[in-house]
Amino acid sequence: MSIQSERALRTKEYCHDRFGMFIHWGLYSIPAIGEWMRSTERVTIEDYQKYFDTFDPVNYDPKKWAKLAKQAGMKYAVLTTKHHDGFCLFDSQYTDYKATNTKAGRDLVREYVDAFRAEGIKIGFYYSLLDWHHPDYPAYEDAHHPMRGNEAYKEQRGQHFERYVEYMHNQVRELLTNYGKIDIIWFDFSYDDMTAEKWEATKMVKMARELQPGIIIDNRMGGDVCSAEPEIYSGDFASPEQMIPAWGVRDVNGDPVPWETCITLNGHWGYCAKDMNYKSAKNVINMLMECVSKGGNLLLNVGPDAKGNIPDKSIEILTEVGEWMRLNSEAVYGCGIADIPKHDWGRITKGEDAIYLYIQDTCCEDIAIYDCPYKTKGAVLLADGSYVRMHEPWNAHSYKTNGKVPVFVQTPEFRNLNGNANVIKIYIEK
Ligand code: GLC
């Protein structure tokens, strides 16, 4: 079987799910200016130690997070088990720099796994390839290390990088051995010559697949997921970030490649106390439907604070998204590209035996679908199943598009149900 067909099989459910929760949480929630803080502020290990000493997430209750994710319609989650600062939320036998040794005093990853699994949400682990805490990770000449260019770290050039690679492989083995079935492993990220076999990526992928046969791996360990012959480590899906690719993601032959864009709810991944620049629920739903209509997933981020609370504003937005999902998720799960050009009024997704019109904006009474390749069999409003009239304006034949009369659907009167855009379901002949 080709690597592409194997990939397609493996990612079937993941592509069906379409919507996930990204969780960035760690020591950096304390300084509260985002997870790159150690690097941007060039903080030494010694200065960063105070966050380790005061890490005390008294309100950490992943059951609440899991309920929120479920209510929002999210089907999988990805938690930062270790971010670039090297701090581990899990109990690793290979380091002391872990949650178990903080005031938290326990394995926080285990509780996350238990809580999300109990809600039927698939489990993902984010694991940072970068590590600003490990002494064998290059510092002085590295592009991102907090101590880059710092004369005091002149000797830290990764002369014994193999020790770090071994550490990383050992930790990934722990993560994929000690927590039952893991659905996704999300490595982050490659840059400069820190890519592919530098991480011993082939070995890593083989180990991951051996320990977790069904696991899905992102594409940030290196290689090219879109090439005709992807490397074994080039991953199962493309992972654009803070953007939605104009035409989705396709390989060199023009065939669709599974993809997932990750997007923040405000402007930061890790908790940022001052950042109130949140997206609205409508904005989130727009992004989700845009992804689905282009054959992709949305991994939407939350950044819990130092005490373990997801910020109120994030809860409010996700709750509103959940209300919309309760009525309209049929247009999301298992849906994808409809093979109809983008229309001015919104987005179109396609399921088994229907297409879904996500109506963001209407200009006249009727919504026209031009270049519709399907034989239609009637339309309803997805939210409540009520009938929606399809008809042909009397002079439509005078205004064909590409030689064809468009399909016309009547705008539902109560299109502002929930304040967010409605979806019209049109049954099609298979
Ligand atoms: C970037 C950042 C990182 C964040 C990730 C999410 O790679 O380094 O902080 O976790 O994007 O996609």
pLDDT digits (tens, 9 = 90+) for 52-64: 999 999 999 999 9
Q: Residue 232 class from Cβ within 10 Å (0-12 exposed, 13-18 middle, 19+ buried)?
A: middle
pLDDT class of 7 with cuts at 50, 70, 90: very high
Q: In testing the pocket of ligand 1, which one of 21, 142, 241 has its CB within 8 Å of the most ligand atoms? A: 241
Atom index in ligand 1 nearest the CA of residue 22 equals 6
CA 161 to ligand 1 center in whole angstroms: 22
Q: What is the mean pLDDT of the chain?
A: 96
Dig out the tokens for 71 from the structure: 């209510």
Minimum-distance ligand 1 atom for the alpha carbon of 35: 9
In terms of residues, how long is the chain? 430
Return residue ranges of the chain for CATH 3.20.20.80: 3-331
Q: Let me know the angle formed at the C-alpha of 47 by 44 and 48, rounded to the nearest 5 degrees.
A: 85
pLDDT, tens only, 80-119: 999 999 999 999 999 999 999 999 999 999 999 999 999 9
Q: What is the SS3 assignment for 319?
A: helix
Angle between helices 108-118 and 62-71 (to 10 degrees): 40
Mention every residue, 6+ apart, whose C-beta is less than 8 A from residue 255. 4
Contact 426, 372 (CB under 8 A): no
Nearest atom within ligand 1 for CA of residue 189: 7
- Pocket mutation for ligand 1, best pick of 83, 188, 265 (most atoms within 8 Å of C-beta): 188
Domain(s) of CATH 2.60.40: residues in the chain: 346-428
Strand partners, 29: none
Residues with CB under 6 A from ligand 1: 24, 35-36, 188-189, 241, 262, 269
**What is the spatial distance between Cα 184 and Cα 345, in angstroms, rounded to a whole number?**
35
CATH 2.30.29 for domain 346-428: no
What is the torsion angle, in degrees rounded to the nearest 10, for the CA atoms of residue 219, residue 221, residue 224 and residue 229?
-100
Distance CA 275, CA 270 (A): 11
Q: Which residue has the least CA distance to atom 10 on ligand 1?
A: 269
Pocket test for ligand 1, best of 269, 297, 301 (most atoms within 8 A of CB): 269
Which residue's structure tokens are 């009024």? 345
- What one-character-per-residue DSSP string does 97-162 give? -BGGGSTT-S-HHHHHHHHHHHTTPEEEEEEES--SSSTTS--TT-SS-TTTT-GGGTT-S-TTHH
Rounded distance from Cα 144 to ligand 1 centre (Å): 12
Q: Ligand 1 centre from 50 Cα, in Å? A: 23
Q: Which of 200, 193, 189, 126 is nearest to 166 (CA)?
A: 200
Q: For a pLDDT cut of 90, what percent of the chain falls above it?
A: 91
Q: What would the two tokens of residue 283 be?
A: 């904005």
Question: Which atom in ligand 1 lies closest to the alpha carbon of residue 36?
Answer: 9
pTM of whole model > 0.95? yes
State the distance from the centre of ligand 1 to the C-alpha of 16, rounded, in angstroms.
24
The CATH number assigned to the domain with range 3-331 reads 3.20.20.80
Question: pLDDT tens across 266-282, in order?
Answer: 999 999 999 999 999 99
- Residue 130 CA: nearest ligand 1 atom is 8
Alpha-carbon distances of 366 from 37, 350, 357, 362, 420, rounded to whole Å: 51, 20, 12, 8, 19
Neighbours of 394 (CB within 10 A): 7
Give the SS3 label for residue 204.
Answer: helix
Confidence class for position 289, pLDDT limits 50, 70, 90:
very high
- How many whole angstroms separate alpha carbon 259 and alpha carbon 15? 8
All residues at 6 or more sequence positions from 234 whose CB lies less than 8 Å from its CB, including other chains: 219, 221, 222, 223, 224, 225, 227
Tell me the per-residue pLDDT of 187-224, one tens digit each, with 9 for 90 and over: 999 999 999 999 999 999 999 999 999 999 999 999 99
